[in-house]
Amino acid sequence: MDFKADNKIDLNAENQLIRKEYRSLLRALRKNISPQEKKLIREAFELATESHKDMRRKSGEPYVLHPIAVAKIVAEEMGLDATSVICALLHDTVEDTEVTLEEIERTFNKEIAKIVDGLTKIAGVFDLNSSIQAENFRKLLLTLNDDIRVILIKLADRLHNMRTLDSLRRDKQLKIASETSYLYAPLAHRMGLYAIKTELEDLSLKYTEPDLYRDIAQKLQEKKKERTKFIHDFIKPLKEELEKRGFHFDIYGRPKSIYSIYNKIKHKGVPFEEIYDLFAIRIILKSDHDKEKSDCWGVYSAITDIYHPNPDRLRDWLSNPKTNGYEALHTTVMSSSGKWVEIQIRTERMHEIAEKGFAAHWKYKEGNSDSAMDEWLEKIRGVLSNTDVSALDVVNDFKHELFSEEIFVFTPKGDLRRLRKGATALDFAFEIHSGIGKKCIGAKVNTKLLPLSHVLKNGDQVEILTSNKQTPNEDWLSFVVTAKARSVIKQSLKDEKKKIAADGKEALERKLKALKIEVSESNILLLMNFYKMISPLDLYFNIANKKVDLSDLNKFEVVAGKIKLPKPVLAQSTQSMDEVVKQTLQKNAELLIMGENSDKINYKFAPCCNPIPGDDVFGFLTINDGIKIHRTNCPNAVQMMSKYAYRIIKTKWTKQHEIAFLTGIKLTGLDDVGLVNKITNIITGEMNLNMRSISFDSNDGVFEGRIMIYVHDTKELEDLIERLTGLDGILEVERFESEDQN
């Protein structure tokens, strides 16, 4: 919440700072704007300054510095036009001040008002099953149909918020950082904004896993001198050879992002010391447009004359650019010191598109890159046009599309189609046309008859077989992967469900009238809660399928047409579900302190991450199981915080009772007689800890052990890990998270 400026603040100095930042914005723009555009930018700046004048950010600085900073990112780092800069300056005015869209349209124009509207969060009431974040994200995605600059400005807004996250509370930092890594970083990637995507990922990690982030950053710094010398020695012969062949170019080493290194450590189990590709060599060519491809391959030829390439690591995005327009040639070669090194070859035009994404597309309107992006946008519009699908489903499907690698598949006539890696024959059928997908019974892949679920590979040629008797069924959702296929199948199933539910609704209304009970929203809501249904549609559908027994209605007391349940499920009031949730959070937020006061709260520890005292934790209000306590680095934390931030409850450990908590450790080492005995002796003999289960598996002289163990807090766990690591023959000991899902 913003607060009013204090009288003690030096307003003179603040005004000078605001003017200075505004002049810096104009300098970033000066080559690209007309006098008329400059006048409109000035008006937008003055309107933003005036409307935000009594507002401050959590850091204490004047709020207007935020929209100026967003406008500067839009101009300088994205290279967008004057209209985008004006909208960036105004992006919070309608949401946070008295300014209306009508005023913006009168002062500027309809186009600017429409973009600002797209940047304004939606208002409304949401129940426990919906996600405010998802609804806002869907609204944002819908602007793809109108003006993609809305999304680009939103990404700039998110980037500045992430750069200034230090001043917020820890729970707010976690919520914003989780949402950023879950949705906004992949979106920046898909928009072709690689530099911004990388920074968003790194900043998200800085707040979600601060210790690991600092550890990687420190190790990178320690290795910097060694890395610089290696790059210099590696580049030297390349530079000489390329100059000898007459190329004009820049060549340099670029360190890999902290987030990409974290991914290898966390998800591939590679220790930092064994990650050799901590950097990539980038070659940027000065090349005429008609010679770009041949020049890039010429550079590749020169490189492979000096260093041996890895044939499995050649990536040709010259012939088939990525959907976001990315063009380059990537190869991995063996250095003279025995380390693999990635080299990226691209021209200046390709480099600008890689750094500035869509903005550069507008500048270079040519080649296949635009059509590929247009094709992707058309797919997304198809998914978004289905307004009957929940916002969470839309966001989940969209996110999968953002992250996916691509394969290229051909129709019987030789037309090229792009699909997600892992796509099946059924996905391909829906890609051709929704009607064909719904009737698909099989496919001929490279002339061989195969089932709907067959996973396609790069270069497959596919012919779809259909039948008018075929209709979509629920099993299809278990193997389709594209957003379009999932969306159409879900809609078809929902349409069928609605038809069946109509009979159930009719049966319920007949029964209610016979018992002189009003067919009202409040009565339906009470019945939904009594029968544990999450929507009226589910209630009617289960009545039609005889899974709900309407004879229960005979037992209810009826007062003036209203149902009175035997046990009250919801208080008889006009409160919305959203208000009930908010009151629950307010009531429990202060009480939910693990330890002395936790006995007043109904809570459980989440099995997906097994938190123990000393862990950084948060509470999550579930629909059926009360409050569940998760670690902040739980595998499910990012999704929960990004989708359901309003159900997150501040939680911390205070005094700890003498209670043991279950956690797991994983050990790897050299198989040796007596080692298991030494391990168990430390656990039960020296530290007096109880084990719930222990298992060891040996393969070619190397063993992996997993032990579920009861400890009192993180300090005791760390002490145990340190002692076990000190044993001869033990290579690694680490805590592991349960793979059970919440």
What does the pLDDT look like over 44-67, one tens digit per residue?
999 998 888 888 888 888 888 999
523 pLDDT higher than 50? yes
481 pLDDT higher than 70? yes
What does the pLDDT look like over 697-716, one tens digit per residue?
877 667 788 888 888 778 88
Banded model confidence at residue 86, pLDDT cuts 50, 70, 90: very high
Instruction: Out of 14, 96, 406, 671, pick the active-site residue.
Output: 96
263 vs 7: which has the higher pLDDT:
263
Using CA atoms, how far apart are residues 467 and 465, in angstroms rounded to an integer?
Answer: 7
pLDDT, position 568: 42
Banded model confidence at residue 296, pLDDT cuts 50, 70, 90: very high
pLDDT, position 338: 82
* Whole-number average pLDDT of the chain: 78
286 pLDDT higher than 90? yes
Domain borders along the chain are 11-215, 221-370, 492-564, 577-653, 661-736
Q: Long-range contact list for 54-61, CB < 8 A, 24+ apart?
A: 54/4, 54/5, 55/2, 55/96, 55/97, 56/2, 56/3, 56/4, 56/5, 57/2, 57/164, 57/167, 58/167, 58/168, 59/164, 59/166, 59/167, 60/167, 61/14
464 pLDDT higher than 80? yes
CATH of domain 221-370: 3.30.460.10
**Cα 257 to Cα 159, 225, 254, 405, 518, distances in angstroms:** 16, 17, 9, 20, 62
Lowest mean pLDDT among 179-183, 280-284, 655-659: 655-659
Lowest mean pLDDT among 187-191, 414-418, 654-658, 661-665: 654-658
Residue 92 is among the residues annotated as catalytic for this protein: no
pLDDT, position 59: 81
In the block, which residue shows the tokens 């038809």? 499
287 pLDDT higher than 80? yes
Lowest mean pLDDT among 75-79, 243-247, 251-255, 415-419: 415-419
* % of the chain with per-residue pLDDT over 90: 16
Using CA atoms, how far apart are residues 337 and 319, in angstroms rounded to an integer?
Answer: 32
Banded model confidence at residue 272, pLDDT cuts 50, 70, 90: confident
Banded model confidence at residue 572, pLDDT cuts 50, 70, 90: very low
What does the pLDDT look like over 421-430, one tens digit per residue?
889 999 999 9
Return the H-helix or E-strand segment holding 205.
helix 194-208
- Asked: is 11-215 a CATH 1.20.140.10 domain? The reply is no
Banded model confidence at residue 598, pLDDT cuts 50, 70, 90: very low
Instruction: Out of 46, 95, 590, 718, pick the active-site residue.
Output: 95
593 pLDDT higher than 60? no
**What DSSP state is assigned to residue 623?**
S
Banded model confidence at residue 577, pLDDT cuts 50, 70, 90: very low
Q: Which amino acid is at 31?
A: K
pLDDT, position 234: 92
- Highest mean pLDDT pick, 318-327, 418-427, 551-560, 568-577: 418-427
What does the pLDDT look like over 343-373, one tens digit per residue?
999 999 888 888 777 666 555 554 444 455 5
Strands, E assignment, 195-264: 249-255
pLDDT, position 8: 61
pLDDT, position 624: 67
What does the pLDDT look like over 98-141, one tens digit per residue?
888 898 999 898 888 888 888 876 544 344 444 555 666 666 66
In CATH terms, the superfamily for domain 661-736 is ACT domain (3.30.70.260)
What does the pLDDT look like over 538-549, one tens digit per residue?
888 888 888 887
pLDDT, position 280: 87
Calculate mean pLDDT across residues 612-616: 73
390 pLDDT higher than 80? no
What does the pLDDT look like over 133-164, one tens digit per residue?
566 666 666 655 567 788 888 889 999 999 99
pLDDT, position 738: 56
What's the per-residue H, E or C state across 153-183? HHHHHHHHHHHCHHHCCHHHHHHHHHHHHHH
Please list, in sequence order, all residues whose beta carbon lies within 8 angstroms of the beta carbon of residue 643, skipping any fewer than 6 positions away. 131, 133, 134, 182, 392, 395
Lowest mean pLDDT among 124-138, 161-175, 301-315: 124-138
Using CA atoms, how far apart are residues 398 and 394, in angstroms rounded to an integer?
Answer: 6
pLDDT, position 88: 92
pLDDT, position 6: 47
**Cα 176 to Cα 29, 163, 652, distances in angstroms:** 30, 11, 19
Burial of 193 (0-12, 13-18, 19+ CB in 10 A): buried
Which residues on adjacent β-strands are paired with residue 594? 653
647 vs 320: which has the higher pLDDT:
320
283 pLDDT higher than 90? yes
pLDDT, position 245: 92
679 pLDDT higher than 90? no
pLDDT, position 344: 93
pLDDT, position 404: 59
Q: What is the CA radius of gyration of the chain?
A: 30
**Cα 713 to Cα 607, 629, 656, distances in angstroms:** 17, 15, 9
Calculate mean pLDDT across residues 535-562: 79
Residue 96 is among the residues annotated as catalytic for this protein: yes
